[in-house]
Each structure stands twice: as C-alpha cells, then as structure tokens.
Amino acid sequence: MSSTAQLYQAQSVSASQNRPQNWPRLSIAPMLDWTDRHCRFFHRILTKNTLLYTEMVVADAAIHGRRDFLLGFDDTQHPVALQLGGSDPKKLAEAAKIGADFGYDEINLNVGCPSDRVQSGTFGACLMQTPDVVAACVAAMKQAVSIPVTVKCRIGVDEQDTETALGELARLTIGEGVDALWVHARKAWLQGLSPKENRDIPPLDYERVYRLKQQYGAQFIGINGGINNLQEGLEHLQSVDGVMIGRSAYHNPLLLREADALLYGDAHEPVSDAELIDAMCDYCDRHIATGGKLNQVTRHMVGLFAGQPSARRFRQILSVEAPKAGATSDVLRAAYQVIVVAREEAEAYERDFGALNPAE
C-alpha cells in the first residue's frame, strides 16, 4: 500500500485520536487555470505536508491529449492528486491508470464543478443527480489502480434535498470502496448561476457535512467551501477529517507557511521570504530555459505579500514586467527588493514615530 493510501485508512471522528503524522488534514482545492504545475511547485515550497491537487483534466484529454504537458509534474510536488472529469467508467479507469503511471498519489473524480462546459459533457456537479453513475466510475477506477480513488462533490444541486442527495452519493460510493469524500458544503445551481456565483451565492451548510461524518465515522470525510484561514480549518477539524481550501490559499499564499506546524505538528523551520524567492527564481530560470515564459510562473505569486508595505507595487511589477518578451527572474528579484526596502523603511519609521499603516 502506498503512503498516500495509508492516509485514507479508517479513522474515527475524535479530535483527540492519534492520527498518522502525514494525515491529510489540509489540501489545496483543484482550481481551473490556477493549480497548474507552477502553482503547485510554489505551494509546495511553502508547505511540505499539504495535499495538492491538479486542475481538472478531462478523461478524454488524459487518454488522447499531450500527456506530458497535461500530466507531467515535478517530483517535489508529492503528495499530489490528479483530478479527473468524466462520466464514462471505462474511460475514467483508463485515465486513472495513466495518472497512476505518471506517479500521482491519488485520483479524484470531479462531481462538483457547475460550469456549462462541464455540464455539456455530462459530468461535474450534474453527476450529483446520478449517484449510481458516480459509484460505477469509482468502482472502475478502484479496479484499475492501487492508489486512493476519491470524490469531490457538492451537498446537492438545484432543488435536491441535501440529506437525500449527499446521503445517496455517499452510500453508493462508500459501497464501492471510495477512499475519501471531499464535500463542498454548498449546493450548485446548474441553471441561473455562473461558476463564480456558485462559489459564493448558495449558502454554506457545514452542518450537513458534519452529519455525514457522524453517519460514516470510519470513512474519511473532508470539507471545502468558504474557509478563509487555518484557524477556521482547525475548528472544522473538530468535526471532520480534512479541510480543503482554495481561493484563500491562492490569494494569500503565505498562510500556507504556517500549515505544517499548525495542522501537522511539523517542527521544521518554515521557509523564509528570501529562501522562497531564491527557490522560485531558480525554478523560473529552469522553466525559461526550456522555452517557458516568466509570467506563467509569477502570475501565481502576485498575492504573495498581501497586506504588507508595498504589496501593491510588488503586484504591479509582476503584472506589467513579467509578461514582456525576454523577461527573466530578475523581474521577480526586483519586485521582492521593493518589499525588502519597504520593510526597512517601515521599521525605521516605527522606531521613530510608531506603527506605519501597511496600506500607505
């Protein structure tokens, strides 16, 4: 059994239980156009233990597309999960096998995305309406791979009763041996709301997810949706096994630097800002040397110093200079130097006059 498979072995809900050291208490949600290989490399420098997810890859693309481009990743990203989209058990099984052969630690099925593009392919959140299909897909993937197979879902869609919808999906997939259910604690409205609106407008119902964990105490149940910081995550961990955060980690990535100590009890020294910038500059140089562009990496870093002196100038430099032809890691170093100088000035001001407003 792989180390990741051990993460999803049966556990009770008791917060005091001695869970494995590498239990996936925290994961970064799969986010289309955001959690690509460059973003994941960046996040991994900040946290050694957090489970990372790819963007959703459609099963047909994994089977017939440019596999190295779609699925390739740096070995430092482990533990990392591949999220697949689809509703054909045979194709998903084939795609899962491909993902496992690429070295992914987990295969996750998307049963939560409400976009029109996903709906037209009859997968994503609309699969909440056909839990038997989801269960068949899980069964096929479980048969094809030895690594964990998990599902990310909603609590329901449209006019569904969430007790029935989530309950039936859980019952059938657990019956087929699903290793974990990651539940976005909102309904998705397939008509009338955009994907962006579906992330905010449907009300959160954390209690529904808590009740699911109470019903299936031995099953790994993770929660997602509206979780803004690690402290909120700790509160959820009193009732579920894992917490998945998305936009808050993307827009304020430095919160991940505290995750290993706070959620995993990992005593290693967190990476410093200077070490982080050096590592990312080295990565940018390697990416550019293979034909890539600087902004393909640095676009994920614009929120790095959110709330700190000169954070706006840092964002401006990366947004304006990184996309230019021939841009190198010197752009990132220059942007960081603005932060360093602003901190020195703020410290000097505070010594002489008191605290400085970071927004100034």
The annotation status of 247 as a binding-site residue, yes or no, is yes
What token pair was written down for 121? 């392919």
Annotated ligand binding at 110? The verdict is no
Cβ atoms of 44 and 259 within 8 Å: the answer is no
Tell me whether residue 242 is annotated as binding.
Answer: no
- Owner of token pair 């402290």: 231
Is 303 known as a binding-site position? no
Does the annotation flag 211 for ligand binding?
no
**Is 225 annotated for ligand binding?**
yes
Nearest to 249 by CA among 39, 37, 24, 109: 39
- Per-residue burial over 282-300, b if 16 or more Cβ lie within 10 Å, else e, is ebbeebbeeeebbbbbbbb
Residues 6+ apart with CB under 8 A from 88: 59, 137
Residue 293 annotated as lining a ligand binding site: no
Going by C-beta distance under 8 Å and a sequence separation of 6 or more, which residues neighbour residue 11?
17, 19, 23, 218, 220, 241
Does 30 appear as a known binding residue?
yes
Residue identified by tokens 């038997």 is 132
Does 233 belong to an annotated binding site? no
**Contacts (Cβ under 8 Å, ≥6 apart) of 198:** 114, 125, 186, 188, 189
Q: Is 32 annotated as a binding residue?
A: yes
Annotated catalytic residue, options 39, 113, 153, 281: 113
How would you label 25-51 residue by residue, b for 16+ Cβ within 10 Å and e otherwise? bbbbbbbbebbbbbbbbbbbbbbbbbb
Q: Is 153 a catalytic residue?
A: no
Contact of 281 with 313, CB cutoff 8 Å: no
What number of other Cβ atoms are within 10 A of residue 279's Cβ?
16
171 carries a ligand binding annotation:
no
> Which positions are catalytic?
113
In the annotated binding site, the residues are 30-32, 83, 152, 184, 224-226, 246-247
In the annotated binding site for FMN, the residues are 30-32, 83, 152, 184, 224-226, 246-247
